[in-house]
Amino acid sequence: MTFHNGADLPYSGLKLLGKIGDGGQGEVHAVGGPGDLLYKNYREPHKVDGSSLAALVAYRQALAAADRDRLDAETAWPLCRVLDAGTVTGFLMRRAPATTNWRTPKGDTKLIELSYLLREPKAAWQAVPQPEPDDRLGIAVALAGLFGRLHAAGLVVGDLSQANVLWTLTPEPAVFLLDCDGIRLVGRPAVLDQADTPDWHDPLAPAGTATVDSDRYKASLMIGRVLMRDPYAHPGQPMAPLSGVLDDRREAAVRSLWARAAGPYGSRPDLGQWQTALAGRETIKLIAAAPAPRPAVDRSMFDTARQRGTIQLNGRGGPGQPG
C-alpha cells in the first residue's frame, strides 16, 4: 500500500486498526502500515464529490517537495482517495503530530484544540500547556501564515473553527489544520456540503456558502480571539488583546484590521495584512503616482459646429457666397 503518488487505493487493501474519532461526516480510523496514517470513512459516501476530493489530492501532488513537506507539517491533507467498487468511501491523511496531544488526568490523550487557547485555564485540563504572551503571538502569526499560504494557492478553507485547528508550543508555537477535505479549490464545489460551526460563521455570508471573503472574516475572528483569549469575541466589539501579547505598534495595526473585518465583502483584511500587522513592522505610507501631465490640446483639430454657406449653382451668385 502506498499513498506517495496520490493514486486511489482500494478499501479492501486497508488494514483498519480501530476507530479513533467520530465526527458529523464520518469516522476516523487508524490504519496499519507505514506512515502512521489515518483513514476518514464517510458516513454518506453517495453525497461525496469524488472529483473535488481528487482535486485536493492532485493539488498536493503538484507541489514542489519543500512546499509539500510544509503542507504535511501544517495540515492533515488528503493524501489519496479510498474507493470501494468505484465509490469514494474516504481518504487517507496524516495523524496530527504527537506534540498536538495532551494527556488527561485519566491517562488518555486528547487533541490540543484551539478552544483551550481561548479560555482561562481550568483544573480539568491543566495538563494543556499554557502559552506565554510571546507564544500566543507566535500562534497568531502561525495562523496568519498558514491561511495566507492556502489563500495564495487559490484555496477556500470554509469551516475555520476552534475544533479543527490544533496548536502546540513544542518545539515552537505552531498550528495544525484538521478536516482538510472541507477545503475547496476556488470555483470548485466542496467535497461535502459546507459545514459551519456555531459561533464561527460570517454574519454576512449566506448559510452553507464559503468564499475567500468569509474565510478572511473567520481568520480575523480566529486571530482576534487568540489575541484576546476570548472564545466569543467578534469584530465590531473592541479589540482588547491579552496583556503583554502585542506591543504598541502591533496593537494599533491589529485594532485597525479587527475593526475592518466587520465590514462588507471585499473590505475584510486579507491574511497578508494580518501577517504585516503581527510582524510589527512600521509601515510606510506610499505616495500614489501623480498622473502624467496632459498634453495641450489643439482644439482646431476637432470637428466643431461651424457656419456654412450655400453655393448657388445657377451662376447668379459668386461661388462661395452665402445665398
Shortest separation between residue 110's beta carbon and other proteins, angstroms: 6
Please identify, using beta-carbon distances, which residue of 119 and 281 lies nearer to other proteins: 119
Please identify, using beta-carbon distances, which residue of 11 and 125 lies nearer to other proteins: 125
Q: Is 236 in the site for other proteins (CB under 8 A)?
A: no
Which one of 67, 119, 281, 283 is in contact with other proteins (CB under 8 A)? 119
Find the binding residues for other proteins in span 181-210 (CB under 8 A).
Answer: 198-199
- The full length of the chain comes to 323
Please identify, using beta-carbon distances, which residue of 43 and 110 lies nearer to other proteins: 110
Q: Is 232 in the site for other proteins (CB under 8 A)?
A: yes
Candidates 59-67, 101-109, 137-145, 269-277; binding stretch for other proteins (CB under 8 A): 101-109
**CA–CA dist 217, 261 (Å, integer):** 6
The position carrying cell 496520490 is 6
Q: Is 21 in the site for other proteins (CB under 8 A)?
A: no
> φ, ψ for residue 283 (rounded to 5)?
-105, 150
Residue 308 CB neighbour total at 10 angstroms: 7
Q: Pick the closest to residue 113 from 177, 202, 38 (CA basis).
A: 177
Q: Is 265 in the site for other proteins (CB under 8 A)?
A: no
Residue 294 CB neighbour total at 10 angstroms: 6
Find the binding residues for other proteins in span 278-297 (CB under 8 A).
Answer: none
Shortest separation between residue 189's beta carbon and other proteins, angstroms: 25
List C-alpha distances in Å: 14 to 40, 44, 96, 181.
12, 19, 20, 19
Candidates 9-17, 117-125, 218-226, 293-301; binding stretch for other proteins (CB under 8 A): 117-125
Supply 68's cell numbers. Answer: 509539500
Please identify, using beta-carbon distances, which residue of 161 and 273 lies nearer to other proteins: 161
Q: With beta carbons less than 8 A apart as the criterion, state whether 102 and 109 touch.
A: yes
Shortest separation between residue 2's beta carbon and other proteins, angstroms: 36
Applying CB under 8 A, the site for other proteins has a residue count of 18
Q: 86's torsion region: left (phi>0), alpha (psi -120 to 50) or beta? A: left
Please identify, using beta-carbon distances, which residue of 89 and 164 lies nearer to other proteins: 164
Q: Is 103 in the site for other proteins (CB under 8 A)?
A: no
Q: Are strands 165-168 and 37-42 parallel, antiparallel or unpaired?
A: unpaired
> φ, ψ for residue 286 (rounded to 5)?
-85, 140
Q: With beta carbons less than 8 A apart as the criterion, state whether 184 and 153 touch.
A: no
**CA–CA dist 140, 197 (Å, integer):** 20
Please identify, using beta-carbon distances, which residue of 55 and 163 lies nearer to other proteins: 163
Cα of first residue to Cα of last residue in the chain, in angstroms, is 101
Q: Where are the alpha helices (DSSP H) in 118-211?
A: 133-152
Shortest separation between residue 115's beta carbon and other proteins, angstroms: 5
Which one of 64, 66, 85, 123 is in contact with other proteins (CB under 8 A)? 123
- Kindly list the residues in this chain that would bind other proteins in the complex (CB under 8 A): 104-106, 110, 115-116, 118-119, 122-125, 162-163, 198-199, 231-232
